[in-house]
Structure 1
Amino acid sequence: MAQPFKAPTGIYQLRRKVPPALRAALGHEYKRSLKTRDPSEAKARFAEEWARSETAFALARAQAGGAEVLTPRDVQQLAARWFRAEIEKVEATGNFAYWLFEGPTVTVDLGDRYDEHTPLMSIREWLEHDPDVDLSGEIAAAIKRTLDQHGIPAPAEGAPTRALLVAAFREHLLQLSDLASRRLEGDWLQKPHVLAHEPLKVEAKRNASKTSSKKLIALFEEYARDKLLTDGNSRGVRKTIDSYRATVEQFIEICGDLPVPAIARETIRDYRVQLAQLPASGSGIRKLTTSQMIAKANAENLPRISEATIRNKLRAISAVLSYGLRLGVVLENPVIAGGIAKAAAKAATNRSAVAKRQKDYTGDELRQIFSSPIYSDTGWSSPRADFGKAWYWLPLLMYYTGARREELAQLAVRDVIKGEDDAWHLSILAAGDDDNGRGVKTVGSRRLIPLHPDLVKLGFAAYVDTLPKAGQLFPFLKICPRGYYGTNFGKRWASYLRETVGLSSSASPAHGFRHTFKTLCRAAGIPEDVHDAITGHAGGASVARGYGVMPLAKMAEQIRRLPSAPLLRVLSSSEAR
């Protein structure tokens, strides 16, 4: 019986001899890493990898008999998968130059000397200078690597599919280089145009044999792996996956561990009815089962979860079932097909219209915040949490930049930059460096933000100068288990506003500053595209808005129009530091 093979490196492999008739497609030996040094784990992975190898051998035999195992759409799908994997790597490392060419050296006569500059060009641009550049080696390597990853034999020489693969991978290679060039220039708004992930023909057939027994939790795990591959292994993606997993587990608790095809429209309807009975809060409810929570809510007349929460839970289940629909596991998404999602969204909208709350701070609330002990009492210190100068600077930065709490809390000292014109600005991972567990909500959130002159006058630049250049901007903010620097500050800031300031506001304690910033920008006449660029919002629907980048100088000019924070007492430079 076949067993995992332990390589000299200690990593286990699957190794199979290839019959002579199939060697043109599979090589002399079929070998795949099991990516583990643990023998028990290797045995479990070996069984799955052996099944994949059986499929590869069957496809190779079919191909040897003259059959085409890949459709033209499969070819484009494989090229798109390779593209997404490569752009994810290069965006994670910031090594955009890997996919660029060095262009001709440009010499500039400066009078007393000559200055030479070698620009980086995309492959498409380079081909305009030298159409004979040979890309065949890179294309062939990408095709082989991708086919091997998917257990698909290489098409025979001269086969139509081989020519289709070369053409598809060549075009995706050019697009990858184009996008790398845009990223290097600081453009993170440009989106790639490739096929969304969907099953290949051979994968759909393989999945069809499993649909009758696949359970929702198993489908969710596949969905989670796909989301990490497609959207990247960032904090935000992991947070979404954890939230969706909790929802899926609660769905199973309410509706039972059903095979996915057995989840019908009636199932989703009943699930929504049960959700509406869950309590929003109550002593000890987190330790109870769903049925116990509902019983407690009925007995104690507890407030129920909101329509918006129900809608979000339905969205999570719908996302997983839509993934199953793409894979052919189900014939419809019952959340959408049954109109349940639309009904829940309408209910949430109606409820929101009735109980709409103000999301930004009023002028009186801002004066109350900025005249509170943090800004008025030189001897004030938090009795619960020592966050250092983050107590003073974070609320001010949120007010003057409209940035999200975590975007500011995670900043390193090197992210505060003084330009050639002595103007200061912040870099919100603008260079694409997600180091030390940092991240942003969306790609468009990577940006530069000019600092309002008030911040410099208040001593922010002086504060930065006191810190080690290689450290965090707020060194007393420690990363929480979920990977966020600002979580604990956010909790204590909410308590401070409630208990110390005595503030009663419908605005979110930290995010309220972001809404306030937008309101103040509009009142000050700052153009929408400018304050969208400052806050990292996508902006309007105009196609033209997706071209180019907003100049930092333009943003700096406009942000001066933002009204000053209503500080009743300006701290001395030593206090602000």
Structure 2
Amino acid sequence: MKLSAYLSLSRHGVFYFRWPLPHTDSTCRPTIKISLRTRCPVRAGTLARHLASCGLITRDNKELARLRQDRLRELVRTYFHKQLDQYVEWINNRGLSSVAVEDARSEMLDHQDHLDSERPTTMYLPVERFKRKMGVTDEEWIDSLPNAITELRKGRRELLRLVLEAAERGDGYSFGEPAATPPAPSAAPEPTSSRLSEAIADFMAEHSRQWPEKTSGQYQSYLAILVEHFGPDCRLAAMTKHDAAEVKKILQLLPASRNTKPALKGLPLAEAIKVTGHKTISPKTINSHIALYRRFFIWAERHGHTTHIIFDGMKVPRAKSAPTDRKPFSAEQSRQIYAELTTNGAGLVRRDSHKWGALLGMFTGARLNEICQLDIADVQQEQGIWFLNITDEGDNNKSVKANASRRKVPLHPDLVRLGFLAFVEQRKNGTRLFPDFSFSKNGGYGRNLGRWFNESFLPRLNMKQQALVFHSYRHTMVTRLGQADVPQPIVQCIVGHAREGVTQEVYMRDGYRMAQLRDAIEKFTV
């Protein structure tokens, strides 16, 4: 047994035992970490062997490892059944206020959101009370994760649904008298709800102000598929789960870039999905459509446009990520790119903006748009260290991908040596560092540089590969720093990824000193 897989050393020299928990659907495999309270490697090795053997026994013995699924579901059913009786008795005695009804409905939707996103969190769940009432030990609970959380959340969601139904039954009256003769059959009345086109217009008017223009346009096109399929006058309440399943089938047949390809542009939806020979949208894009439709119906139900939500549980399985999505440049490729950018031996670099934009990508690992939207004022100095202040402050078109994307990235010494600061000085009378990179709704400020780099520069260097693009600079930076033993949290700070864990999120909110980031980025070499 390789102890290095189970032992880790803290910065104080104390050994910790790490043991992987069973796989979940989350991206990161969960682990437990236990302090061995010793700095002696021999003592730590002995304890680690003992704990690892216990872990293997527990893992291989399914009776020890977790509650059986049928047993777990029975416990959840019993627990919430008792609670349901108490809730119904309360409603019969005192009724349920409108505020309580709205809170229950909101919590039920929150539980469904957690189930859809497959997040194994205990938010809103009575975990400790469930364990105490049903006699579930801490060991049984931990070994049954994440199924225990999922089943408990399903149970709570179902309880709230039944409570809301009971509240609705007690909220109305029926005064109908029995008829002497059965009435003649009549057509079912049209459901009282909003028209699809009207509801979508209200939904977009409320939400579009919070979204970037590109996102609003994308979501509008997603919702336009519903209008095209059902018609603008279709009543939301008349739409059923079967209709949602039909939409799902249509999405699986929908050609990619339907509105831009000459052979498909202008074709009605029903005809476009019958045209063969075109690549269809990916499972990820299908799920993006369905997620928006579900969100729309949740909003519509809350605002009285309909009485039900029909896109729950409609997502399709995701395809495995292709191994050629993106990959870093090799050491030889990096040297070849660097040589051409700095010497222009083959005459491929005709604009200073292309040269410095590409070099910034190489030596910072920043995203394409982050580089191209830089202002002159974003090149700053702190404690004698020059850095890029990557932010969304400035004109209204500047943006960042996430909160962690706002960061300070020290300038690599090679950038300074090559004359980047002199280039900045030449443009000090303007506002933007690269004013010749125009803004585009689809590509932001990075469209011009991205097209030149991906479609002209790399192919002429004989690097025309689907997996090699400007974004490969980020993969290269992360790979090289990791190979240089730079701690992962510092790498995340440099490239703008969120740091994880209590230590980083709570106790290291101020981040790392500029000198630490500089020392790390200097370990990147071409």
The SS at the match of 1:480 is: coil
Question: Which one of 260, 263, 268 corresponds to residue 244 of structure 2?
Answer: 268
Question: Matches of residues 325-344 of structure 1 in structure 2 within 5 Å?
Answer: 325-336=301-312, 339-341=313-315, 344=316
Task: Identify the residue that residue 354 of structure 2 maps to in structure 1.
Answer: 391
- How many Å apart are 1:405 and its aligned residue? 0.9
Instruction: Determine whether 1:535 maps to 2:495.
Output: yes
Task: Identify the residue that residue 269 of structure 2 maps to in structure 1.
Answer: 290
Task: Identify the residue that residue 411 of structure 1 maps to in structure 2.
Answer: 374
Instruction: Determine whether 1:221 maps to 2:188.
Output: no
Task: Identify the residue that residue 324 of structure 1 maps to in structure 2.
Answer: 300
- How many Å apart are 1:245 and its aligned residue? 0.2
For the 8 Å contact 1:279–1:302, the answer to whether it is kept is yes
**Within 2, Cα distance between the matches of 1:287 and 1:502?**
38
Alpha carbons of 1:482 and 1:362: their partners in 2 closer, same or farther (altered >3 Å)?
A: closer
Alpha carbons of 1:322 and 1:513: their partners in 2 closer, same or farther (altered >3 Å)?
A: farther
- How many Å apart are 1:261 and its aligned residue? 2.4
- Which residue identity is paired with 2:362? Y
The SS at the match of 1:426 is: strand
- How many Å apart are 1:362 and its aligned residue? 3.4
For the 8 Å contact 2:325–2:467, the answer to whether it is kept is yes
Task: Identify the residue that residue 241 of structure 1 maps to in structure 2.
Answer: 216
Alpha carbons of 1:379 and 1:283: their partners in 2 closer, same or farther (altered >3 Å)?
A: same
How many residue pairs align between the two structures?
A: 340
- How many Å apart are 1:417 and its aligned residue? 0.7
For the 8 Å contact 1:539–1:545, the answer to whether it is kept is yes
Task: Identify the residue that residue 425 of structure 1 maps to in structure 2.
Answer: 387
- How many Å apart are 1:244 and its aligned residue? 0.5
Alpha carbons of 1:228 and 1:508: their partners in 2 closer, same or farther (altered >3 Å)?
A: farther
Listed as ranges, the gaps of 5+ residues in structure 2 are 1-96, 104-189
- How many Å apart are 1:418 and its aligned residue? 2.1
- Which residue identity is paired with 2:263? G
The SS at the match of 1:437 is: coil
Question: Matches of residues 85-96 of structure 1 in structure 2 within 5 Å?
Answer: none
For the 8 Å contact 2:478–2:491, the answer to whether it is kept is yes
Question: Matches of residues 107-506 of structure 1 in structure 2 within 5 Å?
Answer: 212-228=192-208, 231=210, 237-257=212-232, 258-280=234-256, 283-295=262-274, 297-298=275-276, 301-336=277-312, 339-341=313-315, 344=316, 347-348=317-318, 351-353=319-321, 355-363=322-330, 366-367=333-334, 370=337, 373-378=340-345, 380=347, 388-419=351-382, 421-429=383-391, 433-480=393-440, 484-497=444-457, 499-506=459-466
- How many Å apart are 1:333 and its aligned residue? 3.0
Report the identity percentage.
23
Task: Identify the residue that residue 38 of structure 2 maps to in structure 1.
Answer: none
Question: Matches of residues 62-81 of structure 1 in structure 2 within 5 Å?
Answer: none
- How many Å apart are 1:404 and its aligned residue? 1.4
Structure 1 stretch displaced more, 481-490 or 372-381? 372-381
Q: CA RMSD in A?
A: 3.3
Alpha carbons of 1:506 and 1:434: their partners in 2 closer, same or farther (altered >3 Å)?
A: same
Alpha carbons of 1:466 and 1:211: their partners in 2 closer, same or farther (altered >3 Å)?
A: farther
Task: Identify the residue that residue 86 of structure 1 maps to in structure 2.
Answer: none
What are the superposed Cα offsets for residues 404-447 of structure 1, whole Å, 9 maximum, x if unpaired? 1111101111110122x321011112xx6342532222333222
What are the superposed Cα offsets for residues 236-270 of structure 1, whole Å, 9 maximum, x if unpaired? 62211110100111232234333222332212211
Listed as ranges, the gaps of 5+ residues in structure 1 are 1-68, 76-209, 566-577
For the 8 Å contact 2:357–2:449, the answer to whether it is kept is no
**Within 2, Cα distance between the matches of 1:434 and 1:263?**
45
**Within 2, Cα distance between the matches of 1:519 and 1:537?**
14
- How many Å apart are 1:554 and its aligned residue? 4.5
What are the superposed Cα offsets for residues 340-392 of structure 1, whole Å, 9 maximum, x if unpaired? 12xx1xx22xx225x3335222315733761574444257256xxx7x32211
The SS at the match of 2:253 is: coil
Report which structure shows greater RCO (CA 8 Å, sep ≥6).
1
- Which residue identity is paired with 1:449? V
**Within 2, Cα distance between the matches of 1:331 and 1:555?**
56
- Which residue identity is paired with 1:340? M
Question: Matches of residues 510-529 of structure 1 in structure 2 within 5 Å?
Answer: 510-529=470-489
For the 8 Å contact 1:416–1:424, the answer to whether it is kept is yes
Alpha carbons of 1:435 and 1:70: their partners in 2 closer, same or farther (altered >3 Å)?
A: farther
- Which residue identity is paired with 2:462? G
Structure 1 stretch displaced more, 362-371 or 306-315? 362-371
For the 8 Å contact 2:411–2:518, the answer to whether it is kept is no
Alpha carbons of 1:399 and 1:483: their partners in 2 closer, same or farther (altered >3 Å)?
A: closer
Instruction: Determine whether 1:559 maps to 2:515.
Output: no
**Within 2, Cα distance between the matches of 1:278 and 1:365?**
41
